[in-house]
Amino acid sequence: MTENLPTLSESTRTTLRRKRERGAHDRTTVEAILDEGLVCHVGFAEDGSVFVQPTMYARIGDALYLHGAPANRMLRALAAGEPACVTVTLLDGLVLARSAFHHSMNYRSVMLFGTAERVEDDEAKRAAMTALLEHVAAGRSGDTRPPSARELRATLVLRFPIEEGSAKVRAGGPIEEPEDLGLPVWAGQIPLSLAAGVAVPDSGLADGVQPPSYVRSYPRRGAAPGH
Amino acid sequence: MTENLPTLSESTRTTLRRKRERGAHDRTTVEAILDEGLVCHVGFAEDGSVFVQPTMYARIGDALYLHGAPANRMLRALAAGEPACVTVTLLDGLVLARSAFHHSMNYRSVMLFGTAERVEDDEAKRAAMTALLEHVAAGRSGDTRPPSARELRATLVLRFPIEEGSAKVRAGGPIEEPEDLGLPVWAGQIPLSLAAGVAVPDSGLADGVQPPSYVRSYPRRGAAPGH
């Protein structure tokens, strides 16, 4: 019951200092963005440098799960307790104004702050790997060979809390200077969304294997609400 | 002449420790990814915390330009000399394997490290703002009212060097365990790209204003080479 969950905690890191009307801390908004995105960008420090690494993720309840090879630089740093910032951005469109200055983009983004913990329990690791597949395509985990014990050992799984953070949303058309409204310049929005192309089957599929429905018509649509 | 530019400098930060065949330091690859992307994720540290903030950008030659309000947290930190990591990620598709373990994504990403400098000169600021519009839609800067002196003053422009960094690319179908190849599971790729929807004109366009060609058919296609 998302509605009953507390809001995300605010801090000086998550309180918007500008354009506060674009900010949100309610879990419904935050979770909807996290559940639509496919890639997050993870920021962390190592040896005095900041790194920003893209990776896939999935949400279970009040946590995100990240996974990969144990030698992965980002996973190693986070597993060692390095604090991180995880950002998910959905680009919803271009906003073209009559003036150069007022051009913008429509987007929905979530920025989370926290410290990950390593998932050690095999069943919890399996649940996370299932969630990662289901996040990409609902139904996929039931169609595939599950991870073997060796594959499970070869996968580092991290749990990142959805606790401190905020969402930021811009939607709608351009905001113009009143004196620009009469200019003979086209202004408006160009909606953008992630679109699936025609699936490419792997060579050597077993005889009679047909594409499942999530492959024939990939369901994820990046269009913003109201578009 | 991109071909004559030196490769990006390598460092312990940019040398891939794993899957080296996915890495590239040549400028042609790096610039193609930067020129196709619309949003970068900027990582920086402030008061001991790492932040990852999405923002638009444009490339002129061997630098990226970022801009925004002078009060923007990220711009202020970078203008103060805080080192940053700028990552651009293009998601090209989902890779569905017969086993859960070998699922993956196709992508092209660039990770740059450096320290930005503030662009003070008015003409250089104007050039950066022109590049930001042209990056979004070629031809747009000639159609719009240019920035006024007041708007120029209200815009903080940063130059971020394209010097130290690397590209990473994954393309193609799943890599499977040989013993999985006979499983009755569909496997292959679902290509993903950023697609433009039907443009939404702003209310109150001046009489007779028609959408320019980049609005009628937005040219950016996120499809990976070879798709």
pLDDT tens column, A2-23:
334 457 877 778 776 667 677 7
**Is residue A214, in this structure, part of any structural domain at all?**
no
CA distance B130 to chain A (A): 8
Using CA atoms, how far residue B137 sits from A180, A209, B159, in Å, is: 20, 43, 21
- Is the CB of A39 less than 8 angstroms away from the CB of B91? yes
CA–CA separation, B80 and B70 (whole Å): 12
Number of domains in chain A: 1
Structural domain includes residue A220: no
Decide if B196 is inside a domain. Answer: no
**CATH number for the domain including A101?**
2.30.110.10
Could you tell me which residues come within 8 angstroms of residue A17 by beta carbon, excluding any fewer than 6 positions away? Answer: B71, B73
Distance from CA of A86 to the nearest CA of B (A): 7
- The answer to whether residue B185 is domain-embedded is no
Residues of chain B in contact with residue A39, where contact means CB-CB under 8 angstroms, are 89, 91, 105, 107
B56 near B132, Cβ under 8 Å?
yes
Nearest CB partner across the interface for A39, out of B45, B85, B89: B89
What pLDDT is stored for residue B221 in this prediction? 57
In angstroms, what separates the C-alpha of B2 from chain A's closest C-alpha? 26
By mean pLDDT, which of A212-226, B51-65, B109-123, B183-197 is the weakest?
Answer: A212-226
Asked whether the beta carbons of residue B183 and residue A85 sit closer than 8 angstroms, the reply is no
Residue of A nearest to B54 (CA): A89
Give pTM, 2 decimals: 0.93
> Does a structural domain hold residue B50?
yes
Query: Which range marks the domain in which residue B139 is found?
Result: 2-91+106-179
Confidence of residue A40 (pLDDT cuts 50, 70, 90): very high
- For residue B187, being part of any structural domain is answered with no
ipTM of the complex: 0.92
Identify the closest residue of chain A to B169 by CA–CA distance.
Answer: A54
Interface test with A, best of B22, B41, B46 (most A CBs within 10 A): B41
- Decide if B22 is inside a domain: yes
Is B98 within the bounds of a domain? no
Chain B residues touching residue A55 (CB < 8 angstroms): none
pLDDT higher than 50, residue B161: yes
pLDDT at B40 over 70: yes
